[in-house]
Copies of this chain bind each other. A is one copy, B any other.
């Protein structure tokens, strides 16, 4: 997606440790028009996938997920994060390890918002090791729902999450694929 790649090239910053900082338009400051284009791109690609619900995780996934839901006329659910395990009968939960922060979070969704009639489009801002996406898949399956697709704003193809998901036959659309952040320079995969 050209507008997204342009935003990454123009406003992204590469920090040591292969970290791409895109907080001027994606995960601290948000460019709503770019999010609308992102949402429309996911809607176009997944329009025939029989999706009934968009699922993401707070906080950075919310903006692209809501614009996707708006374009697809579908409700959006965002999983909540909790430092501690949420032990309640009425939630589905998963443990998510963050390599960036070296901490684990628990994420959870109230059971009333997902059921076995749902076909879920998982949306997230980043795909690197795939931990957050795997947590959302786990929650989807626990509800008896199916994963109809996975939409990622920025994928780091030099980390294993994307390959893992495609090896497991998930339909993954990444709008920007980054092959390398070596020498603090963004190199796209395509």
Contacts and interface: CB of A to CB of B under 8 A. Distances in A.
A36 B110 contact: no
Contacts of A77: 28-30
Copies of this chain, complex-wide, total 2
A32 B80 contact: no
Given A59-B58, A63-B66, A80-B28, A73 B35 contact: no
A66 B69 contact: no
A75 B36 contact: no
Interface residues of A, number: 30
The residue in A62, A69, A112 that gathers the most chain B C-beta atoms within 10 A of its C-beta is A62
A78 interface: yes
Contacts of A75: 29-32
Interface in A56-82: 58-59, 62-63, 66-67, 69-70, 73-78, 80
Interface in A127-159: none
Given A30-B78, A32-B69, 10 more contacts: A28-B110, A29-B77, A30-B66, A30-B76, A32-B73, A32-B75, A33-B70, A59-B62, A62-B62, A63-B66
20 contacts: A23-B110, A28-B78, A29-B75, A29-B113, A30-B66, A30-B75, A30-B78, A32-B69, A32-B70, A32-B73, A33-B73, A35-B66, A58-B59, A59-B59, A59-B62, A62-B62, A62-B63, A63-B66, A66-B66, A67-B70
